[in-house]
Amino acid sequence: MTSEKDIEQDPGAGEAVPEGTSEGASKAPEPGSGSDAGDATSELTEAKTDADAPDTGAETAEAAAPDEPEAALPDTEDETPQSADREGQDAPADDEASDEGDDESDSEGDEAGPEEEVERTRVTALYGLHQELGARFTAFAGYEMPLQFKAGILTEHKHTRAAASLFDVSHMGQAFIRLRDGGDHEEVAQALERLVPGDLVGLAPGRVRYTLLLNEQGGIVDDLLVTRPQGEENEGLLFLVVNASRKEVDFDMIDESLEDGIDLIPALDRSLLALQGPKAEAVLASLVPEVEAMRFLSATTARIGTMDCIISRTGYTGEDGFEISVRHPDAEPLARLLLGFDDVMPAGLGARDSLRLEAGLCLYGEDMDESTSPIEADLAWTIGRRRKESADFPGSKRILKELAEGPARVRVGLMSQGRVPARAGAKIQSSEGAEIGVVTSGCFGPTAERPVAMGFVQPSFAAPGTELNVEVRGRLHPVTVTELPFVPHQYKRTVSKASTDAA
């Protein structure tokens, strides 16, 4: 049998988070959260000086001493403390040299001289831990990431919906946008609004918005989360989390668009963990009681021990959960701490993909690309009302036209009636045998207990309940257009009065 095939198909951690299931909303530390104040300022100062320095070139030694939480931050050019030089087949060339202080990662090819072009695969700060946990790895977006752990994808998936799973999503791109000389939120929000259709000016402090970077043709460049931090000292600051596979493209685009006086600062010194599932709140609340008061799409900073965390109530699984941004040296201690809870199991990208697909969430690069408009992607809701009226976002002409007249194709959910999964690329036929669409992602849904897929169809075939066929290995298999999500979302949209009045 072909044993390599399944390893090549990466689920990818690309995120697209409709209804704000967000991926890693983070924000700058805010003062008042213990001793974060100093860190916030120094972090941003450090980050600022690196604003012009792209993340190529020299590496420093490992990130700063972990037992000095308020020490000056490491040079943020250092991508990860454990970048390994590995000859990876799927990895794009990476300009960063190896990390001097690294002795934990599996580094091959250290003999490669500076002139040699060695394809390097990056790893996150949790690579060593992943190995320890018996992960099976896969290449994704230039990173060597766990596809699954010992339990396997089915178990990891089901465990997420029953209890809590911990995902490493550090490969995603985190960044700040900041007004160099200070200023107000409106100014920085308006700057970014030039690239997105969402209402950012109206974003409240401590809140997260899911939105889309658009190109001039009205196509989606990426989907991302934008957070407005709380606190006066963070006025004029935004925090972004973008897809791993798009971070270079995104940051270039944003950087070019920002005028003088506004900087994009990649947060290269940060890792990102996602804790997802019905038990996530209980687990995290035992460490940070205030998370109980957070509702979906909010963000805060908190301290766990000596670790400064940026916590958002967001995710990519459809379950309630949190995404936690920490500096690289804290990633492993935090991961171990969370994994120490009985309810928490590690989960890889395989389960992440089946979870998000059941939740009806898009994966950039599969369910949408630069040719896809928000209307085609069924993401019209991301266009803010004010924005619609001013038509002041890229590609507004096409987008508003599609909104009025309908797009040429539209994303729908497809549920298989049988057991044969329909996968990306499979053709969709009407019951009359006309080819009317294509599958963009599909897998077996462990919770749905049947194959689930998403794809584009001509709008006249998009009504839920429409019976269609997908072509798999030369045969037709029946599918039904199904409303998304396939599995209901469990977001915590309201908090009980007893919990709080904040958030």
**Which residues of the shown chain bind another protein in the complex (CB under 8 A)?**
1-9, 11, 136, 148, 152-155, 157, 350, 353-354, 419-421, 423, 443-444, 446, 451, 473
For tokens 């309908």, the residue is 406
Please identify, using beta-carbon distances, which residue of 5 and 497 lies nearer to another protein.
5
Pairing label, strands 344-346, 164-168: parallel
Please identify, using beta-carbon distances, which residue of 5 and 385 lies nearer to another protein.
5
Single-letter amino acid, residue 489: H
3-class SS of residue 334: helix
Rounded to a whole number of angstroms, the minimum distance from the CB of residue 23 to another protein is 20
Q: Kindly report the backbone phi and psi dihedral angles of residue 284, in degrees, each rounded to the nearest multiple of 5, phi listed first.
A: -70, -35
CA distances from 169 to 123, 193, 338 (A): 11, 26, 15
CA angle 443, 122, 266 (to 5 degrees): 100
Tell me the longest C-alpha to C-alpha distance in the chain.
Answer: 68
Please identify, using beta-carbon distances, which residue of 198 and 446 lies nearer to another protein.
446
Rounded to a whole number of angstroms, the minimum distance from the CB of residue 436 to another protein is 23
Please identify, using beta-carbon distances, which residue of 7 and 72 lies nearer to another protein.
7
Rounded to a whole number of angstroms, the minimum distance from the CB of residue 144 to another protein is 17
For tokens 């549920």, the residue is 415
- What is the rounded distance in angstroms from the CA atom of residue 205 to the CA atom of residue 188? 13
Rounded to a whole number of angstroms, the minimum distance from the CB of residue 145 to another protein is 14
H helices within 97-239, ranges in order? 127-132, 153-162, 185-193
Taking the CB of residue 449, how many other CB atoms lie within 10 A of it?
A: 9
Q: Which of these, 285, 288, 272, 271, lies nearest to 343 by C-alpha position?
A: 285
Taking the CB of residue 157, how many other CB atoms lie within 10 A of it?
A: 27
Please identify, using beta-carbon distances, which residue of 147 and 241 lies nearer to another protein.
147
Please identify, using beta-carbon distances, which residue of 365 and 446 lies nearer to another protein.
446
Please identify, using beta-carbon distances, which residue of 158 and 492 lies nearer to another protein.
158
Q: Which of these, 152, 162, 166, lies nearest to 447 by C-alpha position?
A: 162
Rounded to a whole number of angstroms, the minimum distance from the CB of residue 153 to another protein is 5
Q: Is residue 231 within 8 Å of residue 139, measured between CB atoms?
A: no
Please identify, using beta-carbon distances, which residue of 229 and 451 lies nearer to another protein.
451
Rounded to a whole number of angstroms, the minimum distance from the CB of residue 241 to another protein is 25
Radius of gyration of the chain (CA): 22
Taking 3-state DSSP, the helix, strand and coil percentages for the chain, each rounded to the nearest 5, stand at 25, 25, 50
Rounded to a whole number of angstroms, the minimum distance from the CB of residue 1 to another protein is 5
Q: Half-sphere exposure (CA, 13 Å, Cβ side) for 433? A: 1
Rounded to a whole number of angstroms, the minimum distance from the CB of residue 448 to another protein is 11
Please identify, using beta-carbon distances, which residue of 82 and 354 lies nearer to another protein.
354
Q: Half-sphere exposure (CA, 13 Å, Cβ side) for 341? A: 22
Rounded to a whole number of angstroms, the minimum distance from the CB of residue 487 to another protein is 15
Rounded to a whole number of angstroms, the minimum distance from the CB of residue 146 to another protein is 12
Rounded to a whole number of angstroms, the minimum distance from the CB of residue 135 to another protein is 12
Please identify, using beta-carbon distances, which residue of 360 and 407 lies nearer to another protein.
360
| Structure tokens, 410 | 């539209």
Please identify, using beta-carbon distances, which residue of 122 and 157 lies nearer to another protein.
157
Written as one string, the DSSP assignment of 222-282 is: EEEEEEE--SGGGTTEEEEEE-GGGHHHHHHHHHHHS-TTEEEEE-TTEEEEEEESTTHHH
